[in-house]
């Protein structure tokens, strides 16, 4: 029997190959003093294969779960996987498996345990046979867990209310299945990420959990099944159930990467390790701070002419903004959302001197310049569509359904290259250093004029792979440009897109109250510098809620801070306050954007919210009220993440006219005491906030 261990300080993954050639996952958990103890308990077969319905039980219990369901060239549906070979280099293991009856159809599993204890599984399926393989199901990861109880956290929502965290206990016999079938903006229904807490509801700094995410922007499924025998089966992958994928002779498919973080120290530890991994290995420039920007959308919407933009840029620069982003409305004949997607040349009426002149004006103001594009889409009222209607996704003979007056381009067709459209614009105006890449609608009428009839189902998978391929080429051609990922707000918020975008737009809903909930969810997966958080006008455009400038700024401090309003409409007082707050945000930016995150008080649990970021010898505590606090008394925010041996100076930064809220302001106190007793804050209203800097005192 061959045995394999992948190990870090936090995690051990152990596999063995049985005498019959089965590859078995024996252990995924905290590192063991004697690694081989991992094989002491009866183990499960991994991955569970299609044929294992009755004979090969998982830990002795029949489950009915399977990871792969293929129609093989001979028409049969079973796939009896045996190990062909296994190679291990350090913490990377590559195993090839095949059914002896179909040796040319090979599954390659690549497991890597990264230095932060983050396990990634990449699975590829290659068809070296002469026939076709039809993929009906192929999960990126399928694994069992065993605990007394299972508490599943998911992040679901809809437009303007994305990403709401909910935890539920999964009772024996129950299955929870979530996913998306929108094709391309799959996070609008819910991000493909989850937490399984083992034995008790999830906690930040205690309780074993598995935090997982599928690195995929397409259709997906996450399934959690609590068997009546006590086992949990977890499955995650692209959802092939609506559209089987045809693997032609000689073809290969690389399934989305599954990302799994096991922690014995709670979901706070799991998030921090995932953040470190993403910064180092996934998110472009993940270890850098981001520019403070002003985006034109909520301020002026489609009314973007040269004079307006010049004035906005000047005002932005005066506020201390570093980058001006021209949102929708600059191209074709785009006066509203009914036309011009696909015609990516500046509207000559609005912008007679084009984009280079705007970039130059920004330069003269001392700020950078960026633009909005929606390169995967086409308006039926556009030259692109009039000349090439076959480039849109549609069914033959059916009038395609429009959403926001637009259709989706068929990215499975090599003639459709959104990255080239973006490159052409970037080449025409080299001063552009930021692109907001939007994707506002889901797929419908899912037919491709390019794909052969037997492969129509491949549209879903090929679309996403080609979106990624295009992004990869684009980034290679324009290595200095930042690409934001937006999809009618947070419709595309996943670790697949994170490899190509520095940051995400979380929601079109910019109400600071609602944002606290969405930001709290997003930071379970993404580090602060990958989250766009904008200060917008009050009352809020979407909800009508009024909040103070301080509250809106303090909420936006949780990520990459920006503004999204018309700076021409600001009062002198507002300008003065914004200048000061932006200067402060710049000072605090390294702590938040490069720091380690400690979630302290969840807005989902009561009327407060608090997070702490620690960077080098400083920490920043951000606290908020969402509702009216229960009493008009002092609350104590529990602290974590400080150095217990250090002494900290405590400074509340930029309180509003009602005075300081932190009762320890100006004092110096030990980290141990602060973590034992918390920081007392005095609240008396909803939507108050308090920003506290804690600095280690030398010596
Ligand atoms: C989407 C985005 C917005 C804005 C508009 C422009 O809705 O989420 O931020 O860019 O498109 O049309």
What's the CA-to-centroid distance between 505 and ligand 1, angstroms?
10
In the structure, which protein residues have their CB atom closer than 6 angstroms to any atom of ligand 1?
297, 327-328, 372, 438, 440, 486, 488-489, 505, 508
Q: Whose CA is nearest to atom 6 of ligand 1?
A: 328
Q: Whose CA is nearest to atom 4 of ligand 1?
A: 297
Chain centroid to Cα 616, Å, comes to: 26
Decide which of 78 and 392 is more confident.
392
Decide which of 39 and 580 is more confident.
580
Residues 6 or more apart from 331 whose CB is under 8 A from it?
A: 340, 343, 344, 345, 346, 347
- Summarised one tens digit per residue, pLDDT across range 36-82 is 988 876 554 544 443 332 223 233 334 556 788 899 999 998 788 88
Mean pLDDT across the chain, nearest whole number? 93
Position 658 scores a pLDDT of 86
| pLDDT over 90 percentage in the chain | 86
- Summarised one tens digit per residue, pLDDT across range 99-156 is 999 999 999 999 999 999 999 999 999 999 999 999 999 999 888 788 889 999 999 9
Position 632 scores a pLDDT of 55
Pocket test for ligand 1, best of 185, 300, 328 (most atoms within 8 A of CB): 328
Decide which of 386 and 1 is more confident.
386
Catalytic annotation present for 85: no
- Summarised one tens digit per residue, pLDDT across range 494-528 is 999 999 999 999 999 999 999 999 999 999 999 99
Residues 6 or more apart from 228 whose CB is under 8 A from it?
A: 172, 173
- Compute the average pLDDT of residues 178-187: 94
* Residue 331: cis peptide before it, omega within 30 degrees of 0: no
Residue 20: band (very low, low, confident or very high) from pLDDT cuts 50, 70, 90: confident
Separation between Cα atoms, residue 515 and residue 497, nearest integer Å: 21
Residue 590 has pLDDT above 50, yes or no: yes
- Compute the average pLDDT of residues 226-231: 81
Catalytic annotation present for 438: yes
What's the CA-to-centroid distance between 545 and ligand 1, angstroms?
20
Separation between Cα atoms, residue 668 and residue 24, nearest integer Å: 55
Residue 25: band (very low, low, confident or very high) from pLDDT cuts 50, 70, 90: confident
Q: Which atom number of ligand 1 is nearest to the Cα of residue 508? A: 8
Pocket test for ligand 1, best of 335, 438, 491, 534 (most atoms within 8 A of CB): 438
Residues 6 or more apart from 277 whose CB is under 8 A from it?
A: 114, 116, 118, 259
Question: Which three-class secondary structure state does DSSP give residue 105?
Answer: strand
Strand partners, 484: 436, 503
- Summarised one tens digit per residue, pLDDT across range 259-270 is 999 999 999 999
Decide which of 63 and 159 is more confident.
159
- Summarised one tens digit per residue, pLDDT across range 648-686 is 999 999 999 889 999 999 999 999 999 999 999 999 899
567 membership: H or E segment, kind and range: none
Strand partners, 222: 178, 236
Decide which of 245 and 227 is more confident.
245
């Amino acid at each position: 029997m061959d045995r394999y261990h992948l190990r870090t300080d936090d995690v051990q993954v152990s596999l063995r190959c049985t005498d019959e050639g089965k590859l078995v996952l024996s252990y995924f958990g905290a590192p063991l003093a004697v690694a081989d103890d991992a094989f002491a308990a009866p183990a499960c077969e991994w991955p569970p294969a299609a044929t294992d319905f009755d004979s090969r039980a998982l830990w002795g219990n029949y489950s009915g779960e399977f990871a792969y369901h293929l129609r093989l060239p001979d028409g049969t549906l079973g796939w009896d996987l045996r190990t062909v070979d296994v190679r291990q280099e350090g913490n990377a293991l590559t195993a090839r498996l095949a059914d002896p009856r179909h040796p040319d159809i090979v599954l390659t599993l690549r497991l890597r345990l990264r230095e932060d204890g983050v396990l990634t599984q990449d699975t590829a399926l290659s068809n070296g046979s002469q026939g076709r393989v039809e993929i009906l199901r192929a999960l990126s990861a399928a694994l069992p867990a065993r605990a007394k109880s299972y508490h599943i956290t998911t992040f679901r929502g809809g437009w303007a209310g994305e990403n709401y965290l909910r935890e539920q206990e999964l009772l024996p016999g129950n299955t929870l299945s979530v996913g998306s079938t929108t094709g391309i903006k799959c996070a609008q229904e819910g991000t493909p990420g989850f937490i399984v807490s083992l034995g008790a509801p999830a906690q930040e700094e205690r309780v074993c959990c598995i935090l997982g995410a599928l690195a995929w922007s397409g259709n997906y499924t996450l399934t959690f099944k609590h068997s009546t025998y006590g086992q949990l089966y977890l499955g995650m992958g692209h959802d092939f159930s609506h559209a089987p994928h045809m693997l032609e002779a000689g073809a290969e498919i690389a399934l989305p990467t599954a990302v799994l973080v096991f922690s014995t120290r709670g979901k706070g530890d799991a998030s921090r390790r995932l953040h470190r991994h993403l910064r180092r290995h996934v998110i472009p420039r993940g270890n850098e701070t981001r520019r403070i920007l002003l985006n034109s959308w909520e301020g002026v919407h489609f009314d973007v002419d040269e004079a307006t933009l010049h004035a906005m840029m000047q005002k932005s620069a005066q506020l201390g903004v570093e980058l001006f982003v021209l949102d929708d409305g600059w191209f074709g004949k785009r006066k509203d959302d009914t036309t011009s997607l696909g015609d990516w040349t500046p509207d000559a009426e609005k912008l007679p001197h084009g984009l280079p002149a705007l970039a130059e004006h920004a330069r003269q103001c001392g700020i950078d310049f960026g633009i909005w594009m929606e390169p995967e889409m086409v308006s039926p009222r556009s030259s692109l569509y009039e000349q090439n209607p076959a480039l849109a996704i549609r069914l033959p003979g059916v009038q395609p359904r429009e959403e926001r007056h637009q259709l989706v381009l068929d990215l499975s067709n090599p003639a459709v290259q959104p990255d080239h459209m973006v490159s052409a614009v970037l080449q025409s105006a080299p001063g552009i250093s930021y692109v907001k890449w939007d994707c506002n609608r889901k797929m419908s009428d899912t037919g491709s004029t390019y794909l052969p009839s037997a492969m129509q189902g491949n549209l879903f998978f090929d679309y996403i792979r080609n979106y990624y391929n295009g992004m990869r080429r684009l980034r290679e051609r324009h290595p200095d440009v930042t690409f934001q990922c937006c999809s009618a707000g947070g419709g595309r918020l996943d670790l697949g897109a994170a490899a190509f975008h520095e940051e995400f737009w979380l929601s079109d809903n910019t109400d600071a109250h609602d944002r606290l909930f969405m930001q709290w969810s997003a930071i379970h997966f993404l580090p602060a510098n990958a989250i766009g958080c904008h200060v917008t006008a009050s009352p809020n455009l979407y909800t009508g809620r009024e909040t103070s400038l301080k509250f809106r700024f303090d909420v936006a401090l949780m990520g990459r801070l920006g503004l999204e309003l018309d700076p021409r409409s600001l009062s002198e007082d507002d300008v003065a306050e914004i200048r000061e707050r932006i200067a402060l945000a710049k000072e605090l930016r390294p702590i938040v954007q490069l720091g380690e995150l400690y979630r302290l008080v969840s807005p989902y649990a009561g009327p407060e919210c608090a997070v702490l970021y620690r960077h080098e010898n400083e920490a920043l505590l951000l606290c908020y009220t969402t509702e009216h606090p229960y009493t008009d008394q002092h609350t104590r925010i529990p602290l974590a993440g400080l150095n217990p041996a250090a002494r900290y100076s405590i400074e509340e930064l930029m309180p509003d006219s009602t005075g300081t809220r932190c009762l320890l302001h100006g004092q110096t106190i030990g980290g141990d005491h602060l973590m034992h007793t918390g920081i007392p804050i005095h609240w008396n209203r909803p939507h108050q906030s308090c920003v506290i800097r804690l600095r280690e005192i030398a010596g």
